[in-house]
Amino acid sequence: MLPGLPALVGSVVLWLSSAAPRGLSEQSIKCFPENGPSREWLVRNKLTPGGLRTLRVDSVASPKTNPDAVLLNISWVLKQDGSIQMLKATKICVHGKGQFLTHSCVRCNYTEVFQSQTSPDGGRWEFHYLGFPIKPETAYFISANNIPPANMNEDTATISVNYTSPDCLDPVMKYTKKCQDYGSLWRPNITACQKEKSVEVNFSTSSLGHHYEVLIISHNILDILGNSDILELNQSRATVTIPVTAEEGKGALVQIIPYFSTCNNDCIRRRGTIFSCLESVTLVGLKKSQPWKRLLYLLLPALSVALWALAAGLYLLWRHGKAQKAPPHVPPLLPPIRVLLVYHPQACFRHTVCAFAQYLQGHCRSDVILDQWQKGRVAEMGLVLWLTAQKKEADRVVFLFSSPAEACDGSCDPSAGGHRESAQDLFALAFNLFCSDLKSRASLAKYLVVSLGKAVLSEDLGALGVCPRYQLMKEAGPFCRDLLSL
């Protein structure tokens, strides 16, 4: 007996229990790992079965044996034709394209020779296999072919599907070890309320760590209105007060950035809404007040609504009178302008660059050109050619810097792979390519510099000092206006 055999037998038993047949009890599958080529590949097979009709993939929590893992549930349907009698097995391979490439295959033997093109219940033959532990937010390529395989020069009968696994807040995925390390099970239970000059935030801390930063951000997620330092909190429920006036904080959200040792600064960030502290005070006051006072509280809003409606009506009447003299002015619909976005490699791609690009598209009538959104073309043309072409096409070039509060290290976006080095290349290249333009008045107008938060330009980037510079979101209005005024 081979020394490796006991382990193989062990896994056969395990996989047998997870591979269930459908249809007649006599026909079933036995699956086992087979990473090399099947024996049938090496010989010429006189008669071969047709391919599969469909291949479907889904993710499921693994059985109790391994509560950590999420598995693929791969199901397939056989084609209904005479060649089914030749079918001995189906081989399935899964190729993962995350940070590390993974590749593995199983072979599922059919226990019986197929006697009929249909299953005993009269339907199609369908089987499924549960296996291949998967990672969150990763692309998988799954392929399957029947054995014996088609001979050389015959039609290959391989069928394949792409599948992207869900992210860490998915109800199944959040229980995996990796997601737990990223803080998926932490329930911060945030409550926050706005006082006259500050926002009070309460939240439950996690057992994963003591360090948190609390931000008050504008409703478009881009502007930091106020933030705490990184706090070290030992208690289970924490209270933080952040100076943000009621006027500034209209529509704002609270964001908590945890810094657990398991995920450093790429842990899952949480958001919560901010209510008015006054509301709850008024409600408490109401319960204790006299009935006539309660009536007054109910009537006052109604009264003010009526007065407001009256005022609005009068105003509209007055405007209508004016409008009859002058034709109404309708601004023409202008096409969007093309904006090439060049970002400092310190900027966090997912949290800052993407959010800013979306802001430009949503609020500043822009079509944003971003290297990470055109990876294919960048790879095809090379970075220098791509940048030169985009520079020609773009109406505007925006250099984006972000404040140290939002800066983060290479672990920022693991799914983007080696994005940080490419961001470094992009930034340095763009700076050098466009620098000559910065010396002539005429072409200078194309460039703008945006800093989010308190970002400062380092000395070696001094050449950018001649470009108009905007601090966002404080100067969002002027920035948008200047960006669009060509």
Residues contributing to the site for ligand NAG (CB under 6 A)? 12, 30, 32, 60, 73, 75, 88-89, 109, 128, 130, 141, 160-162, 189, 191-193, 200, 202, 239
Taking the least distance from each CB to ligand NAG, the nearer of 129 and 434 is: 129
d(CA 368, CA 286): 51
Q: How far is the CB of 251 from ligand NAG (least distance, A)?
A: 17
189 backbone φψ class: left, alpha, beta (φ>0; ψ -120 to 50): left
Taking the least distance from each CB to ligand NAG, the nearer of 17 and 458 is: 17
Q: How far is the CB of 203 from ligand NAG (least distance, A)?
A: 9
Please report where in the chains the tokens 């309460």 appear, as a residue. Answer: 202
Tokens (6 digits) for 105: 């295959």
Taking the least distance from each CB to ligand NAG, the nearer of 141 and 431 is: 141
Q: How far is the CB of 209 from ligand NAG (least distance, A)?
A: 19
Contacts of 134 (CB under 8 A, 6+ apart): 59, 70, 71, 72, 96, 140, 165
Tokens (6 digits) for 366: 């822009």
d(CA 467, CA 486): 15
Please report where in the chains the tokens 């250099």 appear, as a residue. Answer: 399
Taking the least distance from each CB to ligand NAG, the nearer of 30 and 338 is: 30
Taking the least distance from each CB to ligand NAG, the nearer of 12 and 416 is: 12
Question: Please, are residues 417 and 137 in contact by the beta-carbon 8 Å criterion?
Answer: no
Taking the least distance from each CB to ligand NAG, the nearer of 71 and 340 is: 71
Taking the least distance from each CB to ligand NAG, the nearer of 104 and 191 is: 191
Residue 482 to residues 343, 445, 476, Cα–Cα distance (Å): 19, 10, 10
DSSP 124-180: --EEEEEEEEE-TT-EEEEEEEEESPPPTTSPP--EEEEEE---TTSTTGGGSHHHH
Taking the least distance from each CB to ligand NAG, the nearer of 31 and 257 is: 31
Burial class (CB in 10 A: 0-12, 13-18, 19+), 39: exposed
Q: How far is the CB of 52 from ligand NAG (least distance, A)?
A: 13
| CB contact burial 84-118 (16+ within 10 A = b; e otherwise) | bebbbbbbbbbbbebeeebeebbbbebeeebeeee
Question: Please, are residues 257 and 268 in contact by the beta-carbon 8 Å criterion?
Answer: no
Q: How far is the CB of 45 from ligand NAG (least distance, A)?
A: 12
Q: How far is the CB of 192 from ligand NAG (least distance, A)?
A: 6
Q: How far is the CB of 197 from ligand NAG (least distance, A)?
A: 15
Taking the least distance from each CB to ligand NAG, the nearer of 12 and 405 is: 12
Contacts of 158 (CB under 8 A, 6+ apart): 51, 143, 144, 145
Q: How far is the CB of 73 from ligand NAG (least distance, A)?
A: 4
Taking the least distance from each CB to ligand NAG, the nearer of 12 and 337 is: 12
Tell me phi and psi for residue 177, to 5 degrees.
-55, -45
Q: How far is the CB of 300 from ligand NAG (least distance, A)?
A: 25
Q: How far is the CB of 13 from ligand NAG (least distance, A)?
A: 11
d(CA 342, CA 402): 12
Helices 383-393 and 419-435: crossing angle, nearest 10°?
60
